[in-house]
A and B are shown apart, each in its own frame.
Chain A
Amino acid sequence: MRLGLSFLNNLMFLPIVLAIGIVLGMLIAIARIKKTPVVSQIMILFVEIVRGSPFLMIVFVVYFGLPYLGIKFDSMQTAVIVLSITATAYLSEVFRSGFLAIDRGQFEAADALGLSPFNKYILVLIPQVIKMTMPSIVGQLVMTIKDTSIVSMVGVVEIVRTSRQIMQITHRPIEAFGIVALFFVLVCYPLISISKTLEKRVSR
Protein backbone atom coordinates (compact mmCIF):
# COMPACT_ATOMS: atom_id res chain seq x y z
CA MET A 1 0.00 0.00 0.00
CA ARG A 2 2.68 2.44 1.00
CA LEU A 3 4.64 1.35 -2.01
CA GLY A 4 1.77 2.29 -4.26
CA LEU A 5 1.55 5.74 -2.77
CA SER A 6 5.26 6.33 -3.01
CA PHE A 7 5.19 5.31 -6.64
CA LEU A 8 3.00 8.32 -7.17
CA ASN A 9 6.01 10.31 -6.05
CA ASN A 10 7.95 8.80 -8.92
CA LEU A 11 5.27 9.60 -11.44
CA MET A 12 4.75 13.06 -10.03
CA PHE A 13 7.99 14.22 -11.58
CA LEU A 14 6.94 13.32 -15.05
CA PRO A 15 4.61 16.12 -16.19
CA ILE A 16 7.03 18.91 -15.29
CA VAL A 17 10.13 17.10 -16.44
CA LEU A 18 8.57 16.13 -19.73
CA ALA A 19 7.12 19.57 -20.35
CA ILE A 20 10.47 21.24 -19.70
CA GLY A 21 12.27 18.57 -21.65
CA ILE A 22 10.13 18.93 -24.75
CA VAL A 23 10.08 22.72 -24.76
CA LEU A 24 13.76 23.26 -24.03
CA GLY A 25 14.77 20.28 -26.13
CA MET A 26 12.91 21.73 -29.08
CA LEU A 27 14.53 25.14 -28.58
CA ILE A 28 17.97 23.61 -28.40
CA ALA A 29 17.34 21.54 -31.50
CA ILE A 30 16.22 24.62 -33.41
CA ALA A 31 19.23 26.59 -32.18
CA ARG A 32 21.50 23.83 -33.41
CA ILE A 33 20.02 23.47 -36.86
CA LYS A 34 20.12 27.22 -37.32
CA LYS A 35 23.79 27.10 -36.38
CA THR A 36 23.71 30.43 -34.53
CA PRO A 37 27.38 31.12 -33.84
CA VAL A 38 27.84 31.09 -30.06
CA VAL A 39 24.56 29.67 -28.85
CA SER A 40 24.69 26.45 -30.80
CA GLN A 41 28.26 25.71 -29.68
CA ILE A 42 27.30 26.12 -26.05
CA MET A 43 24.26 23.95 -26.64
CA ILE A 44 26.35 21.23 -28.26
CA LEU A 45 28.69 21.31 -25.28
CA PHE A 46 25.80 21.08 -22.87
CA VAL A 47 24.10 18.22 -24.69
CA GLU A 48 27.25 16.17 -25.12
CA ILE A 49 28.28 16.60 -21.48
CA VAL A 50 24.88 15.49 -20.25
CA ARG A 51 24.72 12.58 -22.68
CA GLY A 52 28.24 11.46 -21.88
CA SER A 53 27.88 11.47 -18.10
CA PRO A 54 26.11 8.87 -16.00
CA PHE A 55 22.81 10.05 -14.53
CA LEU A 56 23.86 9.23 -10.97
CA MET A 57 27.03 11.27 -11.43
CA ILE A 58 25.07 14.36 -12.49
CA VAL A 59 22.75 13.89 -9.52
CA PHE A 60 25.73 13.77 -7.15
CA VAL A 61 27.31 16.84 -8.73
CA VAL A 62 24.11 18.85 -8.36
CA TYR A 63 23.17 17.60 -4.90
CA PHE A 64 26.58 17.24 -3.21
CA GLY A 65 28.86 19.37 -5.33
CA LEU A 66 26.97 22.61 -5.90
CA PRO A 67 26.47 23.39 -2.18
CA TYR A 68 30.22 24.00 -1.87
CA LEU A 69 29.85 26.63 -4.55
CA GLY A 70 26.99 28.21 -2.65
CA ILE A 71 24.05 26.70 -4.54
CA LYS A 72 22.03 24.40 -2.34
CA PHE A 73 19.25 22.27 -3.74
CA ASP A 74 17.21 19.89 -1.66
CA SER A 75 16.60 16.40 -2.92
CA MET A 76 13.28 17.12 -4.64
CA GLN A 77 14.65 20.14 -6.46
CA THR A 78 17.74 18.20 -7.48
CA ALA A 79 15.53 15.45 -8.83
CA VAL A 80 13.43 17.80 -10.94
CA ILE A 81 16.46 19.69 -12.20
CA VAL A 82 18.57 16.69 -13.13
CA LEU A 83 15.65 14.77 -14.65
CA SER A 84 14.72 17.83 -16.69
CA ILE A 85 18.27 18.48 -17.87
CA THR A 86 18.71 14.86 -18.88
CA ALA A 87 15.39 14.71 -20.71
CA THR A 88 16.16 18.01 -22.45
CA ALA A 89 19.55 16.86 -23.67
CA TYR A 90 18.30 13.56 -25.08
CA LEU A 91 15.14 15.05 -26.55
CA SER A 92 17.11 17.80 -28.26
CA GLU A 93 19.01 15.12 -30.14
CA VAL A 94 15.76 13.39 -31.04
CA PHE A 95 14.22 16.61 -32.31
CA ARG A 96 17.39 17.62 -34.13
CA SER A 97 17.40 14.46 -36.19
CA GLY A 98 13.67 14.95 -36.66
CA PHE A 99 14.26 18.36 -38.16
CA LEU A 100 17.01 17.04 -40.39
CA ALA A 101 14.67 14.35 -41.63
CA ILE A 102 12.01 16.78 -42.79
CA ASP A 103 12.02 17.48 -46.47
CA ARG A 104 13.81 20.76 -47.27
CA GLY A 105 10.80 21.65 -49.35
CA GLN A 106 8.78 22.27 -46.21
CA PHE A 107 11.21 24.93 -45.07
CA GLU A 108 11.25 26.56 -48.48
CA ALA A 109 7.49 26.41 -48.92
CA ALA A 110 6.98 28.06 -45.55
CA ASP A 111 9.36 30.85 -46.51
CA ALA A 112 7.70 31.20 -49.90
CA LEU A 113 4.37 31.65 -48.17
CA GLY A 114 5.90 34.56 -46.29
CA LEU A 115 5.53 33.00 -42.86
CA SER A 116 7.49 34.63 -40.08
CA PRO A 117 10.15 32.38 -38.58
CA PHE A 118 8.01 31.98 -35.48
CA ASN A 119 4.98 30.92 -37.46
CA LYS A 120 7.07 28.76 -39.74
CA TYR A 121 8.19 26.67 -36.83
CA ILE A 122 5.00 26.62 -34.80
CA LEU A 123 2.59 25.90 -37.64
CA VAL A 124 4.59 23.84 -40.07
CA LEU A 125 7.77 22.27 -38.79
CA ILE A 126 7.22 21.49 -35.14
CA PRO A 127 3.98 19.53 -35.65
CA GLN A 128 5.75 17.38 -38.25
CA VAL A 129 8.75 16.80 -36.03
CA ILE A 130 6.59 15.80 -33.11
CA LYS A 131 4.55 13.38 -35.18
CA MET A 132 7.71 11.82 -36.57
CA THR A 133 9.53 11.54 -33.28
CA MET A 134 6.59 10.34 -31.17
CA PRO A 135 8.11 6.85 -30.72
CA SER A 136 11.37 8.36 -29.45
CA ILE A 137 9.52 10.79 -27.20
CA VAL A 138 7.68 7.88 -25.59
CA GLY A 139 11.02 6.08 -25.33
CA GLN A 140 12.48 9.05 -23.49
CA LEU A 141 9.43 9.07 -21.20
CA VAL A 142 10.23 5.47 -20.27
CA MET A 143 13.86 6.39 -19.64
CA THR A 144 12.82 9.25 -17.37
CA ILE A 145 10.48 6.97 -15.43
CA LYS A 146 13.34 4.55 -14.87
CA ASP A 147 15.69 7.39 -13.93
CA THR A 148 13.29 8.50 -11.17
CA SER A 149 14.40 5.39 -9.32
CA ILE A 150 17.95 6.73 -9.15
CA VAL A 151 16.98 9.92 -7.33
CA SER A 152 16.25 7.67 -4.35
CA MET A 153 20.00 7.81 -3.80
CA VAL A 154 19.78 11.39 -2.55
CA GLY A 155 16.84 10.84 -0.31
CA VAL A 156 13.77 11.52 -2.39
CA VAL A 157 10.96 9.54 -0.82
CA GLU A 158 9.94 7.58 -3.86
CA ILE A 159 9.23 3.96 -4.39
CA VAL A 160 12.77 2.56 -4.35
CA ARG A 161 13.68 4.32 -1.12
CA THR A 162 10.42 3.28 0.51
CA SER A 163 10.97 -0.31 -0.54
CA ARG A 164 14.45 -0.29 0.97
CA GLN A 165 12.97 0.90 4.26
CA ILE A 166 10.33 -1.81 4.06
CA MET A 167 12.98 -4.38 3.31
CA GLN A 168 14.97 -3.37 6.35
CA ILE A 169 11.92 -3.76 8.56
CA THR A 170 10.45 -6.92 7.13
CA HIS A 171 13.62 -8.58 5.77
CA ARG A 172 11.73 -9.71 2.71
CA PRO A 173 13.67 -8.24 -0.18
CA ILE A 174 12.11 -10.34 -2.93
CA GLU A 175 8.58 -9.19 -2.10
CA ALA A 176 9.66 -5.59 -1.54
CA PHE A 177 11.74 -5.15 -4.67
CA GLY A 178 9.62 -7.54 -6.67
CA ILE A 179 6.58 -5.35 -6.19
CA VAL A 180 8.65 -2.30 -7.06
CA ALA A 181 9.75 -3.96 -10.28
CA LEU A 182 6.16 -4.90 -10.98
CA PHE A 183 5.02 -1.29 -10.63
CA PHE A 184 7.62 -0.12 -13.09
CA VAL A 185 6.91 -2.93 -15.52
CA LEU A 186 3.17 -2.25 -15.41
CA VAL A 187 3.80 1.34 -16.35
CA CYS A 188 6.71 0.99 -18.74
CA TYR A 189 5.86 -2.12 -20.69
CA PRO A 190 2.63 -0.68 -22.16
CA LEU A 191 4.52 2.50 -23.01
CA ILE A 192 7.19 0.52 -24.82
CA SER A 193 4.52 -1.37 -26.75
CA ILE A 194 2.90 1.92 -27.70
CA SER A 195 6.26 3.18 -28.85
CA LYS A 196 6.75 0.14 -31.08
CA THR A 197 3.27 0.52 -32.55
CA LEU A 198 3.92 4.19 -33.26
CA GLU A 199 7.17 3.26 -34.93
CA LYS A 200 5.38 0.95 -37.31
CA ARG A 201 2.81 3.62 -38.10
CA VAL A 202 5.41 6.25 -38.81
CA SER A 203 7.41 4.11 -41.18
CA ARG A 204 4.41 3.23 -43.29
Chain B
Amino acid sequence: MLDFRLIGQYLPDFFSALGMTLKIALISGALSLVVGTILGMLSLVNNKAVQTPIKLFNGFIRSSPLLVQLYLVHYGLPTFGILLAAFQSAIITFTLNTGSYISEIVRGGLNSIDKGQYEASKALGLSWFKMMWKVILPQVFKRILPPLVSQLSYLIKDTSLAAVLSIQEITYVSRSVSSTTYKPIESYGVPMLMYLIIYILFSLLSKAIVSSGKNPARVKVA
Protein backbone atom coordinates (compact mmCIF):
# COMPACT_ATOMS: atom_id res chain seq x y z
CA MET B 1 0.00 0.00 0.00
CA LEU B 2 1.63 3.19 1.13
CA ASP B 3 5.37 3.00 0.99
CA PHE B 4 6.19 4.49 4.37
CA ARG B 5 9.88 3.85 4.02
CA LEU B 6 9.81 6.06 0.96
CA ILE B 7 7.96 8.76 2.80
CA GLY B 8 10.46 8.49 5.64
CA GLN B 9 13.33 8.80 3.21
CA TYR B 10 12.01 12.03 1.76
CA LEU B 11 10.58 13.46 4.94
CA PRO B 12 13.62 15.69 5.53
CA ASP B 13 13.15 17.18 2.07
CA PHE B 14 9.49 17.82 2.72
CA PHE B 15 10.23 19.42 6.04
CA SER B 16 12.88 21.74 4.68
CA ALA B 17 10.41 22.67 1.95
CA LEU B 18 7.87 23.37 4.66
CA GLY B 19 10.47 25.56 6.31
CA MET B 20 10.94 27.50 3.09
CA THR B 21 7.20 27.92 2.67
CA LEU B 22 6.85 29.20 6.22
CA LYS B 23 9.87 31.45 5.85
CA ILE B 24 8.40 33.07 2.75
CA ALA B 25 4.97 33.34 4.34
CA LEU B 26 6.18 34.82 7.61
CA ILE B 27 8.52 37.37 6.07
CA SER B 28 6.04 38.42 3.39
CA GLY B 29 3.25 38.39 5.93
CA ALA B 30 5.03 40.63 8.40
CA LEU B 31 6.17 43.04 5.69
CA SER B 32 2.76 43.12 4.06
CA LEU B 33 1.17 43.96 7.41
CA VAL B 34 3.42 47.00 7.63
CA VAL B 35 2.84 47.97 4.01
CA GLY B 36 -0.88 47.33 4.25
CA THR B 37 -1.30 49.34 7.44
CA ILE B 38 0.62 52.29 6.02
CA LEU B 39 -1.32 52.22 2.76
CA GLY B 40 -4.58 51.79 4.65
CA MET B 41 -3.88 54.81 6.80
CA LEU B 42 -2.78 56.83 3.78
CA SER B 43 -6.13 56.21 2.18
CA LEU B 44 -7.68 58.26 4.96
CA VAL B 45 -5.88 61.33 3.69
CA ASN B 46 -8.28 63.39 1.63
CA ASN B 47 -5.67 64.35 -0.90
CA LYS B 48 -6.37 63.16 -4.46
CA ALA B 49 -2.65 63.08 -5.23
CA VAL B 50 -2.24 60.53 -2.48
CA GLN B 51 -5.38 58.53 -3.06
CA THR B 52 -5.18 58.08 -6.82
CA PRO B 53 -1.85 56.20 -6.97
CA ILE B 54 -3.02 53.98 -4.12
CA LYS B 55 -6.31 53.23 -5.88
CA LEU B 56 -4.46 52.48 -9.13
CA PHE B 57 -2.04 50.22 -7.30
CA ASN B 58 -4.79 48.31 -5.54
CA GLY B 59 -6.83 48.01 -8.73
CA PHE B 60 -3.84 46.62 -10.57
CA ILE B 61 -2.97 44.09 -7.89
CA ARG B 62 -6.52 42.84 -7.60
CA SER B 63 -7.11 42.65 -11.35
CA SER B 64 -3.96 40.84 -12.37
CA PRO B 65 -2.89 37.29 -11.58
CA LEU B 66 -0.23 36.74 -8.95
CA LEU B 67 1.77 34.74 -11.47
CA VAL B 68 1.98 37.68 -13.85
CA GLN B 69 3.00 39.93 -10.96
CA LEU B 70 5.77 37.49 -10.07
CA TYR B 71 7.05 37.51 -13.64
CA LEU B 72 6.89 41.29 -13.86
CA VAL B 73 8.99 41.65 -10.74
CA HIS B 74 11.47 38.86 -11.37
CA TYR B 75 11.97 39.28 -15.13
CA GLY B 76 10.86 42.86 -15.57
CA LEU B 77 12.88 44.70 -12.95
CA PRO B 78 16.24 43.67 -14.43
CA THR B 79 15.51 46.02 -17.35
CA PHE B 80 15.72 48.82 -14.80
CA GLY B 81 18.98 47.46 -13.55
CA ILE B 82 17.51 45.75 -10.48
CA LEU B 83 18.62 42.13 -10.44
CA LEU B 84 16.85 40.00 -7.89
CA ALA B 85 17.31 36.48 -6.63
CA ALA B 86 14.23 34.29 -6.90
CA PHE B 87 13.66 34.44 -3.16
CA GLN B 88 13.79 38.23 -3.12
CA SER B 89 11.41 38.52 -6.07
CA ALA B 90 8.99 36.21 -4.35
CA ILE B 91 9.10 38.16 -1.08
CA ILE B 92 8.65 41.49 -2.85
CA THR B 93 5.76 40.27 -4.98
CA PHE B 94 3.93 38.56 -2.12
CA THR B 95 4.46 41.58 0.11
CA LEU B 96 3.01 43.95 -2.46
CA ASN B 97 0.16 41.63 -3.31
CA THR B 98 -0.92 40.76 0.21
CA GLY B 99 -0.12 44.30 1.35
CA SER B 100 -2.66 45.61 -1.13
CA TYR B 101 -5.39 43.34 0.19
CA ILE B 102 -4.46 44.16 3.78
CA SER B 103 -4.63 47.87 3.01
CA GLU B 104 -8.23 47.39 1.95
CA ILE B 105 -8.96 45.49 5.16
CA VAL B 106 -7.28 48.18 7.24
CA ARG B 107 -9.13 50.90 5.37
CA GLY B 108 -12.42 49.20 6.14
CA GLY B 109 -11.38 48.85 9.75
CA LEU B 110 -10.41 52.50 10.05
CA ASN B 111 -13.69 53.58 8.53
CA SER B 112 -15.61 51.49 11.01
CA ILE B 113 -14.19 53.33 13.99
CA ASP B 114 -16.61 55.81 15.46
CA LYS B 115 -15.76 59.38 14.49
CA GLY B 116 -16.05 60.28 18.14
CA GLN B 117 -12.78 58.47 18.82
CA TYR B 118 -10.96 60.79 16.44
CA GLU B 119 -12.64 63.86 17.87
CA ALA B 120 -11.99 62.86 21.45
CA SER B 121 -8.33 62.29 20.65
CA LYS B 122 -8.09 65.73 19.10
CA ALA B 123 -9.86 67.21 22.10
CA LEU B 124 -7.32 65.55 24.36
CA GLY B 125 -4.59 67.24 22.36
CA LEU B 126 -3.01 64.01 21.12
CA SER B 127 -0.67 64.29 18.14
CA TRP B 128 -1.78 62.44 15.00
CA PHE B 129 0.83 59.80 15.59
CA LYS B 130 -0.11 59.27 19.26
CA MET B 131 -3.77 59.15 18.29
CA MET B 132 -3.16 56.43 15.75
CA TRP B 133 -0.78 54.42 17.84
CA LYS B 134 -2.57 54.52 21.19
CA VAL B 135 -6.24 54.97 20.35
CA ILE B 136 -7.25 54.10 16.82
CA LEU B 137 -4.99 51.28 15.65
CA PRO B 138 -5.50 49.03 18.70
CA GLN B 139 -9.23 49.16 18.10
CA VAL B 140 -8.84 48.62 14.38
CA PHE B 141 -6.68 45.56 14.79
CA LYS B 142 -9.05 43.92 17.20
CA ARG B 143 -11.82 44.35 14.65
CA ILE B 144 -9.96 43.26 11.55
CA LEU B 145 -8.33 40.19 13.10
CA PRO B 146 -10.64 37.65 11.37
CA PRO B 147 -10.20 38.99 7.81
CA LEU B 148 -6.46 39.40 8.51
CA VAL B 149 -6.15 35.76 9.54
CA SER B 150 -7.96 34.59 6.41
CA GLN B 151 -5.76 36.84 4.27
CA LEU B 152 -2.70 35.21 5.81
CA SER B 153 -4.24 31.83 5.05
CA TYR B 154 -4.44 32.90 1.40
CA LEU B 155 -0.81 33.96 1.59
CA ILE B 156 0.23 30.44 2.55
CA LYS B 157 -1.50 29.13 -0.55
CA ASP B 158 0.02 31.88 -2.67
CA THR B 159 3.51 30.79 -1.62
CA SER B 160 3.03 27.71 -3.77
CA LEU B 161 3.44 29.96 -6.80
CA ALA B 162 7.01 30.62 -5.71
CA ALA B 163 7.60 27.20 -7.25
CA VAL B 164 7.51 28.79 -10.70
CA LEU B 165 10.71 30.61 -9.80
CA SER B 166 12.22 27.25 -8.82
CA ILE B 167 12.15 28.08 -5.14
CA GLN B 168 12.30 24.89 -3.09
CA GLU B 169 9.02 25.21 -1.32
CA ILE B 170 6.40 22.54 -0.79
CA THR B 171 4.80 22.53 -4.25
CA TYR B 172 8.15 22.49 -6.08
CA VAL B 173 9.60 19.74 -3.91
CA SER B 174 6.48 17.62 -4.18
CA ARG B 175 6.81 17.62 -7.93
CA SER B 176 10.49 16.70 -7.92
CA VAL B 177 9.97 13.92 -5.39
CA SER B 178 7.09 12.57 -7.45
CA SER B 179 9.08 12.50 -10.67
CA THR B 180 11.99 10.81 -8.91
CA THR B 181 10.04 8.14 -7.10
CA TYR B 182 7.12 7.51 -9.47
CA LYS B 183 4.90 7.23 -6.42
CA PRO B 184 2.36 10.04 -6.66
CA ILE B 185 0.21 9.17 -3.68
CA GLU B 186 3.07 9.45 -1.23
CA SER B 187 4.83 12.27 -3.05
CA TYR B 188 1.81 14.51 -3.29
CA GLY B 189 -0.03 13.16 -0.28
CA VAL B 190 2.45 14.39 2.29
CA PRO B 191 2.67 17.94 0.90
CA MET B 192 -1.12 18.14 0.51
CA LEU B 193 -1.43 17.05 4.10
CA MET B 194 0.96 19.80 5.14
CA TYR B 195 -1.05 22.46 3.35
CA LEU B 196 -4.30 21.10 4.75
CA ILE B 197 -2.99 21.00 8.31
CA ILE B 198 -1.84 24.61 8.01
CA TYR B 199 -5.22 25.54 6.56
CA ILE B 200 -7.08 23.80 9.37
CA LEU B 201 -4.87 25.49 11.97
CA PHE B 202 -5.69 28.87 10.46
CA SER B 203 -9.41 28.05 10.44
CA LEU B 204 -9.28 27.04 14.10
CA LEU B 205 -7.34 30.19 14.91
CA SER B 206 -9.92 32.27 13.13
CA LYS B 207 -12.79 30.60 14.98
CA ALA B 208 -11.00 31.04 18.30
CA ILE B 209 -10.53 34.74 17.63
CA VAL B 210 -14.14 35.23 16.62
CA SER B 211 -15.53 33.46 19.65
CA SER B 212 -13.24 35.20 22.09
CA GLY B 213 -14.47 38.51 20.72
CA LYS B 214 -18.07 37.60 21.27
CA ASN B 215 -17.94 37.61 25.01
CA PRO B 216 -17.15 41.11 26.15
CA ALA B 217 -17.10 41.73 29.86
CA ARG B 218 -20.62 42.31 31.00
CA VAL B 219 -20.95 45.49 32.95
CA LYS B 220 -23.64 45.32 35.55
CA VAL B 221 -25.79 48.42 35.48
CA ALA B 222 -27.62 49.03 38.75
* A interface residue numbers (CB < 8 A to B): 48-49, 51-57, 60-61, 64-69, 142, 145-150, 152-153, 160, 163-164, 167, 172-174, 177-178, 180-181, 184-185, 187-189, 192
Q: Contact at A52–B72, with CB atoms within 8 Å?
A: no
Smallest distance from the beta carbon of A190 to chain B beta carbons, Å?
Answer: 9
* CB nearest to B59 among chain A residues: A189
Q: Contact at A160–B75, with CB atoms within 8 Å?
A: no
Q: Which residues of B contact A172 (CB under 8 A)?
A: 79
Q: Which residues of A contact B163 (CB under 8 A)?
A: 56
Which among A142, A145, A180 has the greatest number of chain B C-beta atoms within 10 A?
A180
Question: Is B71 part of the binding interface, using a Cβ–Cβ cutoff of 8 Å?
Answer: yes
State which of B68, B171, B188, B199 has its C-beta within 8 Å of the C-beta of A184. Answer: B68
* B interface residue numbers (CB < 8 A to A): 59-60, 62-69, 71-72, 75-76, 78-79, 157-161, 163-164, 170-171, 174-175, 178-179, 182-185, 187-188, 191-192, 195-196, 198-200
- A65, B178: Cα distance in complex, Å: 7
Smallest distance from the beta carbon of A117 to chain B beta carbons, Å?
Answer: 32
Q: Which residues of B contact A69 (CB under 8 A)?
A: 184-185
20 A-B pairs with CB atoms under 8 Å apart are: A48-B196, A52-B198, A52-B199, A53-B195, A54-B160, A57-B195, A60-B174, A60-B188, A61-B184, A61-B188, A64-B175, A64-B178, A64-B179, A64-B184, A68-B182, A68-B184, A149-B68, A174-B72, A184-B64, A188-B64
Interface of B is mostly: helix
* CB nearest to B66 among chain A residues: A146
- A52, B200: Cα distance in complex, Å: 8
Q: Which residues of B contact A164 (CB under 8 A)?
A: 71
Q: Contact at A184–B63, with CB atoms within 8 Å?
A: yes
Interface of A is mostly: helix
Q: Which residues of B contact A185 (CB under 8 A)?
A: 59-60, 63-64
Q: Contact at B192–A61, with CB atoms within 8 Å?
A: yes
Q: Contact at B157–A150, with CB atoms within 8 Å?
A: no
- A138, B191: Cα distance in complex, Å: 31
